[in-house]
Amino acid sequence: MLNIGHRLRLLREQKGLTQGDIEEKCGMLRTYVSRVENNELTPTLETVEKFARVFKVPMYQLFYDGEEPPKLPSLPKRKSVDGILWGDFGKDARMLKKFCHLFSQMKKRDIGLLLRMAQDMSKQN
């Protein structure tokens, strides 16, 4: 599990910055920075963006320890019928957009459960 506070502290120290420096550069109170680093508070995405700007690093480095972003998994190609992909136009596109929005709000564990159920249902037909 990602410990964002620990990661932020490591990057701040690597950059030779103090919590006071963070306060001066982006207006976050020193006490707030301390609470985030000690995992007493979870920063918002906007706050994470501020940290990335202060540290002068791409945002992915706040969540990933490597030099480059992690490789994306190889996903299967979408099947097309006559060159038109499902979800590209009309009602299907709106439905796909809704699915993407709903999946983005789900926990990874729940998505896995939903996909396993769909796979089991497809085998029964």
Could you tell me the residue ranges of all domains in the chain? 4-62, 85-124
Average pLDDT over all residues of the chain: 82
Give the count of alpha carbons within 13 A of 12, CB side only. Answer: 22
**Cα 45 vs. chain centroid, distance in angstroms?**
9
**Of all residues in the chain, what percent carry a pLDDT higher than 90?**
27
DSSP annotation of 85: E
Q: Is the pTM here over 0.75, yes or no?
A: no
Scan for tokens 């006559």, then name that residue.
Answer: 82
Residue 41 and residue 35: Cα distance in Å, rounded?
6
The arithmetic mean of pLDDT across residues 71-83, rounded, is: 64
The letter for the amino acid at 59 is M
Q: What distance lies between CA 73 and its chain's CA centroid?
A: 15
- pLDDT at residue 82 greater than cutoff 70: no
50 within 8 A of 17, measured Cβ to Cβ: no
Provide mean pLDDT across the span 73-83: 63
* CATH homologous superfamily, domain 4-62: lambda repressor-like DNA-binding domains (1.10.260.40)
Q: How confident is the model at residue 18 (pLDDT cuts 50, 70, 90)?
A: very high
What is the average pLDDT across 89-94? Answer: 82
Instruction: Please state which of the ranges 6-15, 30-39, 103-112 shows the lowest mean pLDDT.
Output: 103-112
Query: 48, 62 in Cβ contact below 8 A?
Result: yes
